[in-house]
Amino acid sequence: MVNPTSRGNVREILNWLAGFEMRAARFYEKAARYFESKAGEGHWLSELSRRLSEDEHYHATVIKKAKEAIEEEGFESDLIQLDSQKKAEIEKIFNDCEALIDRGSVSEEDFLNAAIKAEHSEWNNYFVYAVGLLKGRTPEFAKVVKKIEAHKARIEDYIKGSDSSMDVDALLASLDELSGLPVERCLLAVDDEAIIVHLIASILESYGEVDSATNGAEALELYRNKTYDCVITDITMPVMDGIEFYKEAKKLDPELPKKTIFISAAIDQDIIKYLENDGVRFIHKPARMGDITKAVSEVLGTEDSVV
């Protein structure tokens, strides 16, 4: 049976993204006109802003496809809920910079810092989550993923190629600080719903290489052949549930308690107490995106590396 609240979580995220992608497109287009008026046609920041605006228009069409996909299939998920505080923080980045543009006092650094901060905020995580809805549903999925990476790299490429007098090293340092982690880290996502596994994996991909399993038995087999830096797993699954998998995998890896994050709607106080006593992290569904990324960063010891 479709859970209206769960499906509502997905709809809320997609509806916000659809509007915010267009808001970002308008912001970048306004910035393009501003820098062109100040420095003339062909100014590098004007060109960058227009390219970013085009990217955001494309992203809006991607979100539209994701919305159509869940409507056609009646897809539901209570994995993620939209964090109103984070949403307000992301929107404020553009609002503050746009206010400077309107006053005619925005600098190149002001604009680039806003773009860097916004593009590496939870906005990107929500967008990647939405793109995950397209996996297996459209051949365009692979193209979308490539375009996302090109979009984020565009700012860095323009900064490196500029002949501006601004502090390029400081801007690149801030970009590096927000850009994610090396891929040698190994993470494992476990859930009996394939789409949920894809969505969790899409969130984790910025942290490193991600493997997935659809039940505890599959996950245990993977663990017998590979040690993971972080494991995110559901509790209620067929064949072997998450708790049984955890107990068996802990025999292989005594460090597992501090590496594991359970994300589940199941609320069994005995299980919760057992996990708490073992020092294992537990997140209730629906989870805020920031709760998941914060927990993963804590497990990996990289709280300041990923937004």
Residue 4's pLDDT is 40
Are residues 94 and 77 in contact, defined by beta-carbon separation less than 8 angstroms?
no
11 and 128 co-located in one domain: yes
Residue 74's pLDDT is 73
Nearest to residue 248, comparing CAs of 41, 166, 202, 239? 239
CATH number where 216 lies: 3.40.50.2300
Domain end, chosen from 156, 178, 200, is at 178
- Is residue 307 assigned to a domain? no
Domain end, chosen from 115, 147, 178, is at 178
Domain of residue 252: give its range.
Answer: 186-300
219 and 199 co-located in one domain: yes
Are residues 118 and 94 in contact, defined by beta-carbon separation less than 8 angstroms?
yes
Q: What is the CA radius of gyration of the chain?
A: 21
- Give the Cα separation of 237 and 217 in Å (integer): 10
- Is residue 142 assigned to a domain? yes
Per-residue pLDDT tens, the chain, 307 aa: give them: 334 444 457 888 899 999 999 999 999 999 999 999 987 765 888 999 999 999 999 999 989 888 887 787 777 677 788 889 989 999 999 999 999 999 999 998 899 989 988 988 888 888 878 877 776 666 666 567 667 767 767 877 777 776 665 665 666 665 555 454 444 789 999 999 887 888 888 888 878 889 999 999 999 999 999 989 999 999 999 999 999 999 999 999 999 999 999 998 877 889 999 999 999 999 998 888 889 989 999 999 865 444 3
162 and 219 co-located in one domain: no
230 and 86 co-located in one domain: no
112 and 219 co-located in one domain: no
- Is residue 286 assigned to a domain? yes
Nearest to residue 113, comparing CAs of 168, 37, 51, 44? 168
22 and 164 co-located in one domain: yes
13 and 64 co-located in one domain: yes
Residue 277's pLDDT is 95
Domain count for the chain, please give it. Answer: 2
Domain end, chosen from 143, 178, 213, is at 178
- Is residue 122 assigned to a domain? yes
CATH number where 86 lies: 1.20.1260
